[in-house]
Amino acid sequence: MSSTSYAAIQPELRSDESVLWTGQPQRKVILRQLVTPTSLFINGIVLSYLISRAWTMWHLGYVTPMFLLLVLVAILQYALCGRIVYNAWRRGRTHYAATNKRVMVLNVGSTRKITDMYFAKLDSVSLSVRADGIGTIKFSPGPSDQANWWRRICRSAQWTDVDFSMLIFYDIKDARIVHQLIEDQRQQSLKMDSADGTT
């Protein structure tokens, strides 16, 4: 359990809630996801070409085209490196929690944004995990919440390829253990709800 995430989540807890697990997205997977050998290779070719063209234009006295090429080089570098910096910044401000009642994603920045769902409303919980144990857990809502859920997904496409405000636990350590913990709690919550419905 992450003490940083626990402290961040604490104000959002209700009086009848207890925290089962807290965590954050792992930062070490950023480069693997965002920078591929192909992107580095293409970036290197384009960068060397643009710089050589700018150098040639400088010697020929074409200052304006040279300046435009250098601006293009800066944009290209920002597109590659800016994604990494922004992604790392978002990961450091994203906290995950599973309580005895619900799962939560908290984004802390200039404002605090919390996305949560009670176990009884979850239709399914899916897991994808790598060999090192780091994985992603996705939560699908029940049929009544489906329309709003998909509308939010369509609206939230970002240039970082990952939306940390969605109800998804991205790149967490020991993902299989956390997934099992959440599944057990979800099943328990469903049993309690069905027992309440029959009485």
**Can you tell me the mean pLDDT for 25-53?**
69
Is 130 in the same domain as 71?
no
Question: Is pLDDT at 180 greater than 90 in this prediction?
Answer: yes
pLDDT at res. 144: 46
* Assigned domain for 199 exists: no
Q: What is the pLDDT of residues 127-173, one digit of tens each?
A: 999 898 899 999 887 554 444 544 544 444 444 455 666 789 989 99
Residue 133 is inside which H or E element, if any? none
- Phi-psi domain of 133 (left: phi exceeds 0; alpha: psi -120 through 50; beta: other): left
State how far the Cα of 39 lies from the Cα of 83, in Å rounded to an integer: 13
Is 73 in the same domain as 109?
no
Q: Are 151 and 144 in contact (CB under 8 A)?
A: no
Proportion of the chain in helix, strand, coil states, percent, rounded to 5: 55, 25, 25
Identify the residue with better confidence: 101 or 86: 101
Is 185 in the same domain as 148?
yes
Domain of 178, in residue numbers: 3-11+18-28+96-192
Q: What is the pLDDT of residues 47-90, one digit of tens each?
A: 777 778 777 777 777 766 667 777 777 777 777 777 777 778 88
CA-only gyration radius of the chain, Å: 22
State how far the Cα of 53 lies from the Cα of 69, in Å rounded to an integer: 8
| Strands 168-172 and 94-99, bridge-based pairing | unpaired
In a 3-state reduction of DSSP, which class is residue 50? Answer: helix
**Can you tell me the mean pLDDT for 178-199?**
79
Is 162 in the same domain as 102?
yes
Is 24 in the same domain as 41?
no
Q: What angle do CA 80, 70, 157 make, to 5 degrees?
A: 30
How many domains, in total, are found in the chain? 2
